[in-house]
Amino acid sequence: MTTLLHVDASVRAVKNDNPDHDSISKNIAKHFIDSFAKRQAIDEYFYRDVGVNPPSFITQDWIGAVFTPDDKKTAEQHQLLALSDTLIAEIAAADIIVISSPMYNYGMPAQLKAWFDQVIRINQTFDFDLSRGDFPLQPLLDGKILVVITSTGEFGFEQGGIREHMSHLVPHLRTLSKYLGVSTIHEIASEYQEFADVRHQLSLDNAYSQAAVLGGQLSNQ
């Protein structure tokens, strides 16, 4: 039994009339999933294109609802949390989570951050206990595999790379992933999109190959 949650974050579509406008991150994620599904059935598949259909931003009332005990919540508060409940249920059910994301302004798109704000929720995905000292937050889920697929216009965001200090996309996703219950992370990055040169083509080809190999590896586990 495999349940897969697939979250895409680019505002660009997988296919466009002009193929130069196709989302790189979405297409690599699709390649990973196709490679996986060729070898192993996906029993349940949840898909969220948060780039095109962003979750709403949280509000003060939303926070108020989160901190109201379940048996005291009003119907309106339940309604306010309905999307969050659904998104969290998808995470809880998933064995594998695939997040594809472009880099926008050196970090994740606001749309993807909105999804994280909806799902990293007290007593649902983490709990909070001051008796734990300086680290009171503890994840409530575990054992999940995360596949992170990113596309950037520039390059050198990896450890030791020339833009490592400007890299707020993958490091942020790594930090947040533990609150999704992630135990293992696989990362695939395509770089150089803005240079449109041979380095971009090589990086893209390499990302597609890695996605195919990883799809095969994870389907055998």
Ligand X SMILES: Cc1cc2nc3c(=O)[nH]c(=O)nc-3n(C[C@H](O)[C@H](O)[C@H](O)COP(=O)(O)O)c2cc1C
Q: Does 12 bind ligand X (CB under 6 A)?
A: yes
**Beta carbons of 119 and 87 less than 8 angstroms apart:** yes
Between strands 126-128 and 137-139, the pairing is: antiparallel
Q: Does 25 bind ligand X (CB under 6 A)?
A: yes
Among 26, 31, 48, 144, binds ligand X (CB under 6 A): 26
DSSP characters for 149-214? EEE-SS---STTSTTGGG--SHHHHHHHHGGGTEEEEEEEEE--GGG-SHHHHHHHHHHHHHHHHH
User: Is 131 annotated in some ligand binding site?
Assistant: no
Least distance (Å) from ligand X to the CB of residue 42? 22
**Beta carbons of 96 and 214 less than 8 angstroms apart:** no
Among 177, 193, 203, 210, binds ligand X (CB under 6 A): 193
Task: Please report, as residue ranges, which positions from 90 to 109 form the binding site for ligand X (by CB under 6 A).
Answer: 102-106
The CB-nearest residue to ligand X is 102
Q: Does 46 bind ligand X (CB under 6 A)?
A: no
User: Is 25 annotated in some ligand binding site?
Assistant: yes
d(CA 214, CA 221): 11
Indicate the residue among 84 and 167 with the shorter CB distance to ligand X: 167
User: Is 42 annotated in some ligand binding site?
Assistant: no
In this structure, the number of other CB atoms found within 10 A of the CB of residue 136 comes to 12
Per-residue x/- marks for ligand X, 125-164, CB under 6 A? --------------------------xxxx----------
Least distance (Å) from ligand X to the CB of residue 213? 20
Name, in order, each residue with C-beta under 8 angstroms of 214's C-beta and a sequence gap of 6 or more.
Answer: 32, 35, 147, 186, 188
Least distance (Å) from ligand X to the CB of residue 18? 13
Task: Note the residues at the interface with ligand X (CB under 6 A).
Answer: 10, 12, 23-26, 102-106, 151-154, 193
